[in-house]
Amino acid sequence: MADIPDSTDRSASALPTDALAERVRERLALAGLAFDRRAAASRPKGRRKTARPAELTAGRVGDASHARERACLRTVFHELGDAHRGYRARTGNSVTLALRAATTAFKLEPSLPSLVTVAAFLDELGILAW
């Protein structure tokens, strides 16, 4: 009789990925807060931008939220890159082809799933501080 994996085995194997995805979401939320603080910060008078008319900015609300999301994804991606470069400097290891493929996929289409894939490689190495 063939062994049929029971459903608890499948859900147990999915839990680490779900937990990692949640950790990445939390990190993105922190990056979003930092992005908002920077956006709300006052600038010296000579460097302030003039306010745009309402009709020009009305259609750009979606663009602004999309830009914020991409900026947060890039921020967390760069944090992961810094951590991996530090790891490589300490250990002398090189970048694996699978990690390089995951980073290339993220650069082509930045998204939460592609960022989680990159984070999974670093989590396996034990270098994620969060």
User: Where exactly are the structural domains of the chain?
Assistant: 63-130
Q: How far apart are CA 3 and CA 78, in angstroms?
A: 44
**Of 38, 35, 40, 37, the residue nearest 72 (C-alpha):** 35
End-to-end CA gap in the chain: 44
Query: Given this model, what pLDDT does residue 74 score?
Result: 97
Query: Given this model, what pLDDT does residue 1 score?
Result: 45
In degrees, rounded to 5, the angle at the alpha carbon of residue 75 between the alpha carbons of residues 68 and 14 is 95
Residue 118 near residue 80 (C-beta atoms within 8 A): yes
pLDDT tens for the chain, residues 1 to 130: 444 444 444 444 445 679 999 999 999 999 999 999 988 887 666 665 655 555 445 555 578 889 999 999 999 999 999 999 999 999 999 999 999 999 999 999 999 999 999 999 999 999 998 8
